Chains A and B, each alone.
Chain A
């Protein structure tokens, strides 16, 4: 922990050498220090005259307080990264449903690299379950559930830290909105996570995304003009490799332009806990277990049976047939009955 006395009389160049993340801090706060590198922080602050302060809405006390707070957060964050901050399991301890009845399970423990599906009608309480996990509920939400991490009561940092979020989300409605190319975008994301070997990581993500989408990525394409399958692939690869969150929630994955099986394998391979809200039988049976939600509570937890796993093989064949017909239609062909027969 540092305090303001430790930094106010340090020359800016030295400060940035010691805490490189402060370079982007000054930039993101619209403080141009380029002509003051050989001056101290106090000297830099005092160069603003009253009018400039008023115009920039600059408040020295507030700025210094924020600077100290941010530096301490980053020191702690970088420390955590070194110590390893791994999550091996999360446990949901049962609460009640909307009518106040006890949920019909005691504890549900989910390990990393496990896929658990969530099924149930819209409005049945899927969002609430997710929110309970994200908030690491301690009997203090409407469901009275509690969440344990690595079998223990979780640290409160999961609730409030902006860089340590428990749950990352991927859903059908998500789009890229930034005006950046694929390369710029990945670099920006990596930098915001204070990652050092940015280039290696970016190429790892691109390889993974290429593998999922089938169509090769051009790194200079603006992310907003990627095809549907490509955006989905990039989002999944980026979330798997670069997101800090140990749990990934997937809200359906469209069955077009992307290899869903490989996508799940990628997430599981990166040691994520995967929660998947889906009613697509192929995806649902890829899960190890599924949670059935009814009336705001967890009604059942079902292990995927051997029979279901065997069915998955059949379902995948049926799916291939349909995919095949789809691409024939796209190519302008006339369909015939033989195309439905298994090969």
Chain B
């Protein structure tokens, strides 16, 4: 089974792109499943189900979605293997710009959209910078010039990535993406011993553990203060 991790800011077009890409994979006889990670709620599972794609979802709730992802990815992989998928795709929303959900040797795709603004590529960390493929969506509603500038900004922060423009509505470009995703040689059997591409955002302050009260005496562990003097 090939494992593919797809990540990107909320509403950037991940589900649309994955659905269109799976359409193309299915015509080649590949069996594909999806696991969707989100924070509080998601209806993506309904969309996948409607398209006849086996799907599971995991909601991280109060936990950092990245940490939740990495603590569950083994079980997710086992689910995929036991269902006999050729390809298992995980979709996770990168909720903070410091997100870093990718694993070494596992194909990583970042989906961002042309509407997010030209400074966005600079602001997104490892989620964009360490992806193998960057998919840019919503090119149908911005000008040619803005598309060109946006993809050149993406190229500057991740020059090694393959950058593809895909229209999530019509699927233009999704067939092409699908040809880059399945690799006969790249089967995973388990993830033990594999490593993250980059460390995840740090946690472990008292608020991580459920503290709700405001005030210095309640703040413990990994806490840092803004320097209000510095401009």
Please list the residues of chain A having a beta carbon within 8 angstroms of any beta carbon in chain B: 24-25, 28-30, 54, 56-57, 59, 62, 65-66, 69-70, 73, 127, 130-131, 134-135, 140-142, 159-160, 162-163, 165, 168-171, 173-178, 185, 188-189, 192-193, 231, 235, 238-239, 242-244
State whether B143 touches A235 (Cβ < 8 A): yes
Whether A54 contacts B202 in the complex (CB less than 8 A), given A142-B27, A175-B142, A177-B142, comes out as yes
State whether B162 touches A160 (Cβ < 8 A): yes
List the B residue with the shortest CB-CB distance to A238. Answer: B145
Q: For A56, A188, A192, A243, which residue has the most chain B Cβ atoms within 10 angstroms?
A: A192
State whether A66 touches B146 (Cβ < 8 A): no
Q: Which residues of B contact A73 (CB under 8 A)?
A: 155, 159
Whether A189 contacts B149 in the complex (CB less than 8 A), given A28-B157, A29-B157, A178-B118, comes out as yes
Does B19 have its Cβ within 8 Å of any Cβ on chain A? Answer: no
B115, B121, B148: the one within 8 Å of A28 (CB): B121
State whether B151 touches A243 (Cβ < 8 A): no
CA gap between A328 and B114 in the complex, in Å: 39
State whether B156 touches A62 (Cβ < 8 A): no
Distance to closest chain B CB from A317 (angstroms): 32
CA gap between A29 and B123 in the complex, in Å: 8
Please list the residues of chain B having a beta carbon within 8 angstroms of any beta carbon in chain A: 24, 27, 98, 100, 114-115, 117-118, 121-123, 125-126, 129-130, 139-146, 148-149, 151-160, 162-163, 167, 170-173, 175-176, 179, 198-199, 202
Whether A188 contacts B140 in the complex (CB less than 8 A), given A28-B157, A57-B126, comes out as no
Q: Which residues of A contact B122 (CB under 8 A)?
A: 28-30
Give 8 nearest A-B pairs by CB, closest first: A57-B125, A70-B159, A69-B159, A28-B156, A162-B155, A192-B152, A162-B163, A189-B145
State whether B170 touches A127 (Cβ < 8 A): yes
